[in-house]
Structure 1
């Protein structure tokens, strides 16, 4: 019992410190996003700019609630509750389902599903607005949301605990579905970007295409770190190991940071949007032997087998990459 309590406290302490670092990074990303939205050179539509501003602000408010709740709970547990009935163990046993803890957990769930909704939309855009691609992910999204609501209700009842009892019975399938959904979307987006990246590299040249085809760009677009940390959290959580709390706190912050990074890329004109994807699909097609086909849009076939864009096509491509308001 003493070892489990010690692991629990260490996990909360470490998770809180990591959360503070990630919260600071998210603040920087948020203000960079607002700065990008306010620039005169921003080519997103007014409607898109409003959406990105509201979306980012809601994410910031939710992560602030989560960080503040954890800070208050830690202070009450280690300082105020130390001399209370039962000491720290007594505080943990009676205050895990406190109303403000439930509020913090609710804020995290909303963040997770806001981030997943953005990932689903990005998947839809990157696959050329094909509804069939997002049909199964949407069903998984709705199933995870239903389980999350049930878990919140059970954990919020007197004596409830997010990491013990009946909560785990619903929490484990909820997190499994949600994290599996993240992994599936990540793999689908990465595979699509790798395919389109070859077309973009041939059309623009490797150096000019790095903005879209670099490893960092693909990691951000696919929210790969979000999926990876989710797996790190799910395994100890399903086993009932207290260290899950540390990974859970980090995962919750990345659930906010991952979509914020995607929004920042869209705002700064560096994300894959409908226009860029359309250009990649229409300007360059690959035959079975990997050689490109010449189109009337301005792509010229060089004698050594590579392609370059003509001046008109280059101007068209560059202008299209700036018009990402619909992404």
Structure 2
């Protein structure tokens, strides 16, 4: 009786599959990014022609991110097309082509566009953290130091990956890539923790006040935590660094997905800005006022929670929520974003 054949693919086959599925999901996420940008731009320019300049600046920022992501996705697609179709008979097969041509100029251009996108996305997240903490420089001082280290290591890795014969997934480039990825993930995790803590503290402050909870709930809900803090991006970054540092053949898939989220996460924030659901300076200052809680003892020696009605009145005067005639769009009109 013949023994059953056990399908145990080699590491090279696993890596090729990882490249394929990574590019597949990256392309799908790219389509979501395009939709998010176009929808945000349509909301900003059409639904509210008098939208603030800062809100328009967010849209232009999103256009720059989309342009850089387009370069990255396009160059990766072309490279894989050459690797699997045009030059699949190259010495060493598809992975041999990958090792010999990783430093080609247009592939280096794609890597550079990804890194610039990362700088911009991290910069936006750091600015949002700074704004949400009421412009406290001390809060973002340490993240800014990590940010500078991320830029430095990215430049070193870019130069190393551009050298003839270099391979992003093997050799010396991996060492620099792990350092860059680790610093980038450390920055994202730090900012994610700061923003999440800020939102949770604000949520705790207003959850007992029903009138405020109705108008401020969109700023402290689960969606706000996930998007404002870029939590999915940070989690994907951790997975990528672990798989890349251990030189696992599945690393390329997480690399493609993570680098796409570099542009997609800020695009989600921009979408919330366009729909009036994102934090701005007014929201940050007023939620801080809500956090100034007053506790008084009752005759039963229990504590009762009291919020200043002046703060609630101030929020009601600054926030105007309108229901549009088309699509049920909720619009926020306030001061600076």
TM-score by length of 1: 0.89
Deviation at 1:137, TM superposition (A): 0.3
Kept in 1: contact 2:192–2:234 (CA 8 A): yes
* Correspondence for 1:7: 14
* Correspondence for 1:157: 163
Deviation at 1:200, TM superposition (A): 4.0
Whether 1:318 and 2:328 are equivalent positions in the alignment is no
Whether 1:294 and 2:308 are equivalent positions in the alignment is yes
* Cα distance, 1:21–1:174 mapped onto 2, change above 3 Å: same
* Cα distance, 1:130–1:250 mapped onto 2, change above 3 Å: same
Map 1:234-273 onto structure 2 (within 5 A). 234-273=241-280
Whether 1:111 and 2:104 are equivalent positions in the alignment is no
Per mean C-alpha deviation after superposition, the further-off stretch among 267-276 and 316-325 is 316-325
Deviation at 1:186, TM superposition (A): 0.5
* Greater fraction helix: 1
* Cα distance, 1:59–1:324 mapped onto 2, change above 3 Å: farther
Deviation at 1:205, TM superposition (A): 4.1
* Correspondence for 1:60: 66
Kept in 2: contact 1:44–1:325 (CA 8 A): no
* Cα distance, 1:195–1:180 mapped onto 2, change above 3 Å: same
Deviation at 1:282, TM superposition (A): 2.6
Map 1:163-182 onto structure 2 (within 5 A). 163-182=169-188
CA distance in 1, matches of 2:315, 2:103: 59
Whether 1:217 and 2:224 are equivalent positions in the alignment is yes
CA distance in 1, matches of 2:41, 2:132: 24
CA distance in 1, matches of 2:20, 2:240: 16
* Cα distance, 1:280–1:12 mapped onto 2, change above 3 Å: same
Deviation at 1:171, TM superposition (A): 1.5
Map 1:126-165 onto structure 2 (within 5 A). 126-165=132-171
* Cα distance, 1:40–1:10 mapped onto 2, change above 3 Å: closer
Map 1:51-90 onto structure 2 (within 5 A). 51-90=57-96
Deviation at 1:319, TM superposition (A): 4.2
* Correspondence for 1:233: 240
Q: What runs of 5+ residues in structure 2 fail to find an aligned partner?
A: 1-8, 296-302, 322-330
Deviation at 1:190, TM superposition (A): 0.6
The total of aligned residue pairs comes to 312
* Cα distance, 1:174–1:86 mapped onto 2, change above 3 Å: closer
Deviation at 1:248, TM superposition (A): 0.6
CA distance in 2, matches of 1:239, 1:106: 24
Secondary structure of the 1:271 match is: coil
